[in-house]
Amino acid sequence: MKSLDLALRKTLIVYGICGTLLAFGVELWTPYRMISVLGWLMIPALALATEFLPVRISRNGLRITFSLPFVAGMAVATGATGALLVDLLVTLAAALYLRSKQEKGVKSYWILLNLSVCLISASLAGFVFHFATNSGSGHTTLGALAFTITYAVANFLLVCNADATMSLGRFKERVHSTAAIAAQGMLLYCLAAVAVAILVSKELYLFLPLMLLPLVVLRRVLKLKALLFEQYYESVTALTLMLQRAHPYTHGHLERVSRISEEVALRLGLSGPRARLVREASVLHDIGKIAVDEAILDKPARLTDEEFTHVKRHSVLGAQILAPVEALREVVPWIRHHHERPDGTGYPDGLSDVEIPIESKIIAVVDAFDAMTGGDAPSDRRPYREPMTVDQALQELDRCSGTQFDARVVQAFRYVLGSGVV
Amino acid sequence: MIGRETWDVLIALALTTVAMLYYGRIYLPKKIDDRTRESLKAFSTAVELRFPVREGLSNRVVALSRELGKREGLAGKQLKDLEMAGRLRDIGLCAIPYRLVNDKPMVEWTDGDYAIYERHPEVGAAMLELVPSLSHLAGIVRTHHVNFDGSSGPFFPSKDSLPIEARLLKIVSDYVWFERTQGALLARENLRDGAGVAYDPEYVYTFLSMLTSSRVTNSAAPVTA
């Protein structure tokens, strides 16, 4: 927890200083234009209204708000300084309101972080807007578009970075998962911003509230997309819960080792999303053991042939359990074949080296390593089989590489384990 | 006052909004529904592979409880919850010893065996409570074997607190089990005997009349072992 606090404080300080400097820059460089009172009332009011309609897109409290089109409108109307001011005030108001409503959860450092993120992205967008409109002889459409895109990209990257720091995840992973939710809305968002900018530049302030309509629609779409992702991860969790109930052992070790499997997949040149899927597959690979007699799995002695045949069913059964889940469709064959061997003596199908999916080979190595170094399953702690040290386990993997394990995968596994990435 | 460029942007905005409206109102809800169904199916498949006597029971329970729910005027979210609970009702069985169900005939079960077996609604509910998007079904799963008149188990809540979904599910899941083990005729007989005791009489009669109407037997044909 200590290191988390430190990392967070560092992020906060860096963000704060950058934000303040940039904001002063905007203040000095960009001009301010006067507009009518109606405009000054209408635009901030609408920005405030949208700020109170956030969508929470992940369980750790990451939220998206939709004030950007109106902030961009403010930039068109008064220049970058006005936009910066409105954005800052609106964000502060919403954050304070949220804090007063829910007693716990919203801490002051979170508000400060939000404000500095706002400062940086609004100032950057302000600069871009300034140059875009001056060189393009006051082209409002182009200016608003430039403002919106700069702001959105800057905000997105800053928030992902802060989020990755806070939850100790990886930056790239955050960018991927958040972009997958938000990307489709960007077109509508940009169009709304341009429409607001045009209405503002023609001083048609009374038509502005109409622009709330697309934003409300967009909000619902993002909410459902976030739900879709959440559901996917929750069903994976629920399946592992079932396995734990059938065979009471903690999944902690497997969880840790599955992170290694993701790194191994990346090392072997698989794409990011696919490596992520390998990670989930290696958490789920033994799901078929739900349908295996736990008395045999926990038996403190060597298995008879008959018992071994019974246990061997688990890879086929696992594939059968996951078969109806569309989101895991690719994973099903990997799980079916995770006990195949390159020398062709594996089960269930006795595939040859080239027929076995690389993902299955990764899972096989990770699974074996987990078992040898004393995974938490009782079956891994049989009296006749003491847990090995990491070095011993690696030697064993080397000894079996080429026959039981794929040589390349074992090499990549060694590399990842030695590099200390995980 | 409003130029051509403005109209272009406004029309593009309107069109995109309509497209997104379709996406958010029709496409995504359907997709979420489908995905939910699929993953719940994985749970019931897991239980049915563990205990092959139960193979196909879940599909039948879901089809019948959906029909019964409709006849009792359930709709929308409540009907969906009933269907989901029908799928999930027995996930607690994964914690019941493999050999008890698979190798020991039920006539030989001791009181202790029954006590172990009857923990499955509680185990299933405890599991669901750990999964945020399914936790609202925990109450139904926990009480889906509770007798209507309060004559079962120590954890019985009061009659009024028994959710309607749990009362419906009790009837359907018992019927499907009796149908598998004793045949349809005796299964109906058992339900009639239990009306007012184990089952809410009102729903039992709806269910019995539903079973004898040809439409239902066609749409949800029994799966024989």
Residues of chain A with pLDDT under 50: 1-2, 136-137, 383
The helix (run of H) or strand (run of E) holding residue A55 is: strand A55-56
Q: With contacts defined as CB-CB under 8 Å, which chain B residues touch A185?
A: 20
User: What is d(CA A5, CA A175) in angstroms, rounded to the nearest whole number?
Assistant: 22
Q: What is the pLDDT of residues B57-79, one digit of tens each?
A: 999 999 999 999 999 998 889 99
User: Where does residue A83 rank: exposed (0-12), middle (13-18), buried (19+ CB within 10 A)?
Assistant: buried
Whether the per-residue pLDDT at B87 is higher than 90: the answer is yes
Q: With contacts defined as CB-CB under 8 Å, which chain B residues touch A221?
A: 20, 23-24, 28
Q: With contacts defined as CB-CB under 8 Å, which chain B residues touch A200?
A: none
User: B6 touching A, CB under 8 A?
Assistant: yes
Q: Hey, of B27, B39, B101, B131, which one would you mutate to test binding to chain A, going by the most A CBs within 10 A of its CB?
A: B39
The helix (run of H) or strand (run of E) holding residue B4 is: helix B4-22
Angle of helix A80-101 relative to helix A37-51, nearest 10 degrees, comes to 40
pLDDT of residue A372: 82
- pTM for the predicted model, two decimal places: 0.81
User: B107 touching A, CB under 8 A?
Assistant: no
Q: A293 by DSSP, 3-state: which?
A: coil
User: What is d(CA A149, CA A191) in angstroms, rounded to the nearest whole number?
Assistant: 11
Q: What is the pLDDT of residues B101-143, one digit of tens each?
A: 999 888 889 999 998 998 999 999 999 999 888 999 999 999 8
pLDDT of residue B3: 74
Select the residue of A202, A228, A323 nearest B31 (Cβ to Cβ): A228
Please, what is the Cα angle at B69 between B66 and B71, to 5 degrees? 110
Question: If contacts are CB pairs under 8 Å, which of residues 7-36 in chain B contact chain A?
Answer: 9-10, 12-13, 16-17, 20-21, 23-25, 28-29, 31-32, 34-36
Nearest CA in chain A to B128: A238
The whole-number average pLDDT for the span B3-9 is: 80
Calculate how close chain A gets to B29, using CA atoms only, in Å: 7
User: What is d(CA B44, CA A301) in angstroms, rounded to the nearest whole number?
Assistant: 32
User: What is d(CA A116, CA A142) in angstroms, rounded to the nearest whole number?
Assistant: 26
Nearest CA in chain A to B28: A224
Beta-sheet pairing, A55-56 with A63-64: antiparallel
ipTM: 0.84
- Contact assessment for residue A278 and residue A261, using Cβ atoms and an 8 Å cutoff: yes
pLDDT of residue B219: 47
Question: B81-85, B95-99, B154-158, B221-225 — which is least confidently predicted?
Answer: B221-225
Q: With contacts defined as CB-CB under 8 Å, which chain A residues touch B50?
A: 246, 290-291
User: B41 touching A, CB under 8 A?
Assistant: yes
